[in-house]
Amino acid sequence: MSQKIMDGIGIQSLENAFSILEEVKKENQPLTLTELSQRVGMPKNNLKKYLVSFVNIGVLNFDDVKKTYNFGSKLIELGLNALNRLDISSIIDSYMLKIKDEFNQSSVLAIWTEKGPMISKYQSSGRSINVEIEIGYYPSFLGSSVGKCFAAYLPAELTKDLMDQEIENYDLKKENVLEELYQIKKDGFSTRDDYFGDLPGSNSISCPIFDHSGKMIAAIGLIGFSNELITDTDLALRMREIAEQVSSQLAYQA
């Protein structure tokens, strides 16, 4: 998620310091003073003062032989602590409210369980008539947009049995299923444009959410009636953008 900018006067030197860390992050190998100076655009004399402080507090390590700087144990400790404080349920509410306000539609969050995708959160559109789904509901794996997200992104060993079962139950053609899942993974979103089994609503758009390890951990979906929710590309891309913001807040890097 793009970081919110607070009103007020900040500390410029602190912002400069973090720009140095950003440059270290971009590289897969330690950097010398000269290399960092070129990347940050800061004179070596000024940059060296920041680096000395970073090394002293353990944010950076200095290799005295190679004369290079890399992330230190203190920064790793802080990063791991931040990751431990983050989980999808603690940050998703504001995004689901954003969907409600922007699209005037209901939304859901689905997580993966041993029984397949399960609705773990629901946000009503707030209108007098809207699509409702109970928390704990298990939507179809291959018939729902959230289910198809998981089918496209999760490892095959986790989904094969459920996929085979639904292909048989709903008399689906496996080649058609695989072709659709390939397209979902290419586009970054899945859609449903008609009624399927006992699924609430007739139209939906869903997008995957990833954690810091790159694993898909949830799907966020927009649901509505066919006369109100048109699953066009622009709407799907906007939903994908919101899902990417959630993934970014969970420290996912594409």
pLDDT tens string, the chain, 254 residues long: the values are: 445 556 667 788 888 899 999 999 888 899 999 999 999 999 999 999 999 999 999 999 999 999 999 999 888 888 777 766 667 888 999 999 999 999 999 999 999 998 999 999 999 988 877 778 889 999 999 999 999 999 999 999 999 999 999 999 999 999 999 999 999 999 999 999 865 555 555 789 999 999 988 999 999 999 988 777 777 889 999 999 999 999 999 989 88
Q: Looking at 62, 84, 106, which one is the last position of a domain? A: 84
149 lies in the same domain as 171 = yes
102 lies in the same domain as 173 = yes
175 inside domain: yes
155 lies in the same domain as 240 = yes
Q: Where are the beta strands (DSSP E) in 41-148?
A: 60-63, 68-71, 106-113, 116-123
Cβ-contact 71, 51 below 8 angstroms: no
Number of domain units in the chain = 2
Q: Looking at 52, 84, 116, which one is the last position of a domain? A: 84
99 lies in the same domain as 219 = yes
Strands 31-32, 116-123: pairing kind: unpaired
129 lies in the same domain as 45 = no
CATH of the domain at 96: 3.30.450.40
138 lies in the same domain as 237 = yes
Structure confidence at residue 67 (pLDDT): 95
63 lies in the same domain as 90 = no
Cβ-contact 122, 106 below 8 angstroms: yes
Cβ-contact 114, 238 below 8 angstroms: no
Q: Is 116 exposed, middle or buried (0-12, 13-18, 19+ CB in 10 A)?
A: buried
Q: Return d(Cα 115, Cα 138) in angstroms, integer.
A: 8
Closest CA to 141 of 111, 114, 167, 116: 116
Residue 224, both tokens:
């509505």
2 inside domain: no
Structure confidence at residue 193 (pLDDT): 83
Residue 191, both tokens:
């859609």
pLDDT digits (tens, 9 = 90+) for 3-23: 555 666 778 888 889 999 999
In one letter, which amino acid is 58? G
The helix (run of H) or strand (run of E) holding residue 209 is strand 203-210
Structure confidence at residue 4 (pLDDT): 54
CA-based angle 208:210:214, to the nearest 5? 130
Structure confidence at residue 1 (pLDDT): 40
Structure confidence at residue 233 (pLDDT): 85
User: Considering the entire predicted model, what is its pTM?
Assistant: 0.71
pLDDT digits (tens, 9 = 90+) for 225-248: 877 777 788 999 999 999 999 999
Range of the domain at 206: 86-249
Contacts of 154 (CB under 8 A, 6+ apart): 112, 216
1 inside domain: no
Q: Looking at 28, 58, 84, which one is the last position of a domain? A: 84
Q: Return d(Cα 82, Cα 253) in angstroms, integer.
A: 16
Structure confidence at residue 195 (pLDDT): 56
CATH of the domain at 39: 1.10.10.10
